[in-house]
Amino acid sequence: MPNEQEKFGLPQVLIDFKTKGVTAIKRSARGVVALILKCETTDVSNKYKISDISEIPDRTFDEATTDLIKKCLDGTPLRVLVYTLPKTTVQGVKNTQATLLKQLKHTRFNYIAAPTGTVQDQQDLASYIKAERNNGRKTVKAVVGSVAADHDGVINFCTEEIKVPNGQDTQGRTTYKTYTPIEYTARIAGILAGLALDRSATYYKLTEVESVKVYEDLTDRIDKGELHLFDEEDGEGVKIARACNSLQTFTTDKGQEFRKIKIIEGVDMVTDDIRDTFKKYYVGKYINDYDHKMLFVAAIMVYFGQLAGNVLDNRAKNKVDINEQFQKDYAIIKGEDISKMSIMEIREYNTGSELGLAGTVKFVDAMEDLKIDFTM
């Protein structure tokens, strides 16, 4: 029988899941960006938490560094975690991107970018994300400049010659700054972190951009997992072409829908919400028997119901339950003859401290492609 602590705690789990479901869209628009900037003139590394332009420290960063932070903030993320490193001109440094990434192991953020990094830094950042997502089960993502990473957690931004007005000359004529793909990863990361899950980044307008390089083979580039900006010359200005990540290798576990940034955002949010609630309310607080397992399952089902419509397909059978195959495997390891056990006995089998669940969910995408046939 549950003790008094359990009686008090179980309603909290349901309330927390319901709250997470109701606030999913709002929360999804408030992501955190980790920005790695090589701007220090000596071998030091510093960290700054910045939520808006007014929080950028005075006389701390040079003009170019401040500009990149502002570009990231333009996307309205919840906050930007700025990590500074020595400039590439500083010799014999110990504070490198590699050492910094090791320090970020227990830091929570949604997107990371290194807009002042080298080509090698971009490649290393992509490798870091792959390892964190594949091995560490983290939900972090990176925006890198021109790296064909073939991974759903890496956005490969490739647009060149990004021309942005930055003031006027002495004669009152508009002056421009031209950004590289690597530099503008700061802006893209800010956009993606600040975008709500009820829309896609496809056709997101970058009103500050005057023009970008035109690619005749833009469709082919997108098919290769490249994120691009383009201008259709329709008066709407420069916008994101197709909000895709770099994933190119598709499997039965990861189909083509996994190359859509919106889908991955949904998968990551659901993963984080379930994992965070489990850690907060369940780990160490309840015995791991069948009844408590099913209470957690019921709480997740309530959460799925709250997500139906904007994150999950409300016409799909989104569900979670005890993983019966996991239960069977566990019983076999313990020397049980499962051929003599009923389904209910298998479901109720004591699995020590381990909770094995299995589910089916279908994430809903945004409206992006129109196909229409008229009959005359």
Q: For residues 2 and 128, which has the higher predicted lDDT (pLDDT)?
A: 128
User: Tens digits of per-residue pLDDT, 149-168?
Assistant: 999 999 999 999 999 999 99
pLDDT-derived band at 221 (thresholds 50, 70, 90) equals very high
DSSP codes of every residue in 105-122: GG---SEEE-TT--HHHH
Contact 205, 237 (CB under 8 A): yes
Q: Is the pLDDT of residue 292 over 70?
A: yes
pLDDT value at 91 more than 50: yes
d(CA 40, CA 61): 8
Q: Which residue has the higher pLDDT, 240 or 302?
A: 240
Give the β-pairing of 111-113 and 141-145: parallel
338 pLDDT higher than 70: yes
Q: Do residues 87 and 38 touch, judged by C-beta distance below 8 A?
A: yes
Q: Is 1 a residue whose pLDDT tops 80?
A: no
79 SS3 class: strand
Burial class (CB in 10 A: 0-12, 13-18, 19+), 114: buried
Alpha-carbon gap, residue 195 to 221, rounded angstroms: 24
Distance between CA atoms of residues 268 and 280, nearest Å: 18
> Is pLDDT above 50 for 5?
no
Q: Is 32 in contact with 196 (CB distance < 8 Å)?
A: no
The pLDDT tens digits for 129-138 are 999 999 988 9
- Do 34 and 17 share a structural domain? no
53 and 17 together in one domain: no
Tell how far CA 159 is from the center of its chain.
21
Asked if residue 276 is part of any domain, the answer here is: no
What's the rounded Cα separation, in Å, for the pair 103 and 97? Answer: 10
Examine the domain organization and report whether 44 and 141 are in the same domain: yes
CA neighbor of 363 nearest in space, from 267, 238, 274, 253: 267
Q: Is the pLDDT of residue 27 over 90?
A: no
- Rounded distance between C-alpha atoms, residue 9 and residue 15, angstroms: 10
Residues 87 and 232 in one domain: yes
Model pLDDT, residue 136: 82
The pLDDT tens digits of the residues spanning 163-210 come to: 999 999 999 999 999 999 999 999 999 999 999 988 999 999 999 999
Cβ–Cβ < 8 Å for 215, 228: yes
For residue 309, the enclosing domain spans: 4-22+281-360
Residues 68 and 162 in one domain: yes
In a domain, 264, yes or no: no
CB 311 within 8 A of CB 269: yes
Average pLDDT score over residue span 58-72? 96
What is the Cα–Cα distance from 267 to 254, expressed in whole angstroms? 12
Which of these, 131, 136, 166, lies nearest to 149 by C-alpha position?
A: 131
Residue 32's pLDDT band (cuts 50, 70, 90): very high
Residue 294 placed within a domain = yes
Report which residue type is found at 26.
K
Would the pLDDT of 351 be above 70?
yes
For the stretch 238-257, pLDDT in tens is 999 999 999 999 999 899 99
Look at 291 and 6; give whichever has higher pLDDT.
291
Strand partners, 142: 112, 154
Question: Mean of the per-residue pLDDT values for the chain?
Answer: 92
Quote the CA–CA distance of 294 and 287 in Å, as a whole number.
12
pLDDT at 7 over 60: no
Q: Measured between alpha carbons, how far is residue 63 from residues 166, 185, 256 in Å? A: 12, 17, 41
Report the C-alpha gap between 231 and 375 in whole angstroms: 32
DSSP sequence for 165-228: EEEE-TTS-EEEEEE-TTTTHHHHHHHHHH--TTS-STT-B-TT--B----TTHHHHHHTTEE-
| Residue 213 confidence (pLDDT) | 97
Inside any domain, residue 255: no
Are 225 and 305 contained in the same domain? no
**Is residue 290 located within the same domain as residue 175?**
no
> Does residue 228 sit in the same domain as residue 322?
no
Whichever domain contains 46, its CATH number is 3.40.50
Same domain (yes/no): 221, 130: yes
pLDDT computed for residue 310 by the predictor: 84
Give the pLDDT band (50/70/90) at residue 24.
Answer: confident
Is 9 strand, coil or helix? helix
| Contact in structure between 190 and 77 (CB atoms under 8 Å) | yes
